[in-house]
Amino acid sequence: MISIRKNICIVLSLIGLGLQSCDKLDMAPTDSIDPSKAFRNLDDVNMGVLGAYAPLSTTLLEAGAIVSDEVLLPTENTVSNTALHRWMYNSSYGSVTSAWNEYYVVIDRVNHVLEALPNITVTGNNQILKNQYEAELLALRAYSHFELLRGYASSYDAEGMGVPYMKARALGYPARPTVKSNYEDINADLQAAKDLMPTSFTENIRITKTAISAIQARVALYAKNWPDAIKYASEVISAEPLAPKNDFPKIWVDNSNSEVVWKLARVIGDSRLGAAFYREAGGIVLYAPSSKLINTFNKTDDIRYAAYIKDDPSRVGPPPSIKSQYLVNKYIGGNTTNPGLTDVKIFRTGEMVLIRAEAEAESNSATGLTNAANDLNTLRRERIHNYVNQTFSSKQILLENIYNERFKELAFEGHRFYDLKRLKLPVERLTQDAANTSGAVKLEPTAAQYCFPIPNDEMAVNKNMVQNPKYGKD
């Protein structure tokens, strides 16, 4: 299958023609082409859609792992993002601020193509294809705004400060709406996308109807809209069941698409999450699984342990060896020539089962608690050999089990820090995981770094932008 990124140079030639500036104020700007001229037919639109997908990055996934308690900073890492792990970032620190620009680039490209769509006339089956492209664009706009919300909202509560929701290409000084307003705009785009998306489209390196349901379920979880979280997660589970035990490890070396709802395809030349992020050339481990995470697994029976974590005692010599015995195995991939070149899984059914379980438990009914326990036991049976169903004596104990299962199931997939934030819990590291943190052991919800800062460049040019609490001028 052709990677989306392979088409980016063509797309840029369509939407970025004419790079010379203009002296006369009464002339149209020449740094971008009129959408009605860039997109003349559905082939052009498809290229524009691919161009909108192309800037999607893993910046917030990486940042969410580094600042959380699921990884530790080995002393062998003296080169990469040590300040981020030590919670020393500010509004000038690119590892937490670059995603702001990355997602707004996606959104701008989406709006560029959406502006052109009404001017393209189609007939017959081409209307279905046009609807698909419009649905992808609307869903991609919603997803991108939600990722920005996860990273930069002052809180996930309705009254929290959200992010500017850009529904059209425009220059100006957008202010921060409330998180409630963001949820409303995101859900409106997602519903419009779902109404347009043909069920027959099932290409999981792009957004499908099932992927839209997955986005809706995740948004509903953060918004604490429990009925919608149950409804949409159930749609995904029905369409894409959990992976069987023998297929699950294959997901992480791209030998199976089982339970993968939407992924970012990676081909040679693309960034390698498993190599450039968790380790680099020369064998230096940049970030290793934390003891806190490792201790949650049944190493013998849980199939996730070997799929996610590599135990390599041969790396550790006698003192003063500084190498980590444990490595992140989840994104190592199956190609020894290009280790770490693995498709990035954005939505999986495992997450949906846990979303539904949490929402059922929060629904405050005996039936909901039973359903939640069934979901949790079902997931564990698929992941753990010889698992025996458990019972839970209270709602709180059940929820704590669900949270802990998310810690294991979704490790290194960009959820842990944001889960702690939505639950308003501190990031707490074990003593043995904090030897190289310069004292960064507990990050309280009251600390500035509990929210990522709005980038300094945005603050400098947007007179209506408000910084997240407790960040001073950097």
pLDDT for the residue numbered 43: 95
Asked whether residue 214 is assigned to any structural domain, the reply reads: no
The parent domain of residue 55 ranges over 34-199+414-474
Cβ 163 vs Cβ 182: under 8 Å: yes
The CATH code of the domain that includes 83 is 1.25.40.390
Gyration radius of the chain's alpha carbons: 23
8-state DSSP, 265: -
CA-nearest of 393, 329, 396 to 358 is 396
345 within a domain of the structure (yes/no): no
The C-alpha atoms of residue 307 and residue 369 are separated, in whole angstroms, by 30
What pLDDT was estimated at residue 281?
Answer: 58
Residue 385 lies in a domain: no
Identify whether the C-beta of residue 347 lies closer than 8 Å to the C-beta of residue 146. Answer: no
pLDDT at site 6: 40
Q: Which pLDDT belongs to residue 191? A: 98
CA distance 202 to 199: 7
Residue 210 is assigned to a structural domain of this protein? no
The secondary structure of residue 453, as a DSSP letter, is: P
Residue 217 lies in a domain: no
Is residue 109 situated within a structural domain?
A: yes
User: Within a domain: residue 58?
Assistant: yes
At residue 306, what are phi and psi to the nearest 5 degrees? -70, -30
Nearest to 221 by CA among 187, 188, 189: 187
**Residue 332 resides in a domain:** no
**DSSP assignment of 10-53, as one string?**
HHHHHHS------S-TTSPPSSS--HHHH--SHHHHHHHHHHHH
pLDDT of residue 176: 98
Give me the number of domains the chain comprises.
Answer: 1
Per-residue pLDDT of the chain (474 residues; tens, 9 = 90+): 334 444 443 343 334 333 233 332 233 333 455 666 779 999 999 999 999 999 998 899 999 999 999 999 988 877 666 899 999 999 999 999 999 999 999 999 999 999 999 999 999 999 999 999 999 999 999 999 999 999 999 999 999 999 999 999 988 999 999 999 999 999 999 999 999 999 999 999 999 999 999 999 999 999 999 999 999 999 999 999 999 999 999 999 899 999 999 999 887 766 666 554 566 656 788 899 999 999 999 999 999 999 999 999 988 876 666 788 998 988 877 666 776 778 999 999 999 999 999 999 999 899 999 999 999 999 999 999 999 999 999 999 999 999 999 999 999 999 999 999 999 999 999 999 998 999 999 999 999 999 999 999 999 999 999 999 999 765
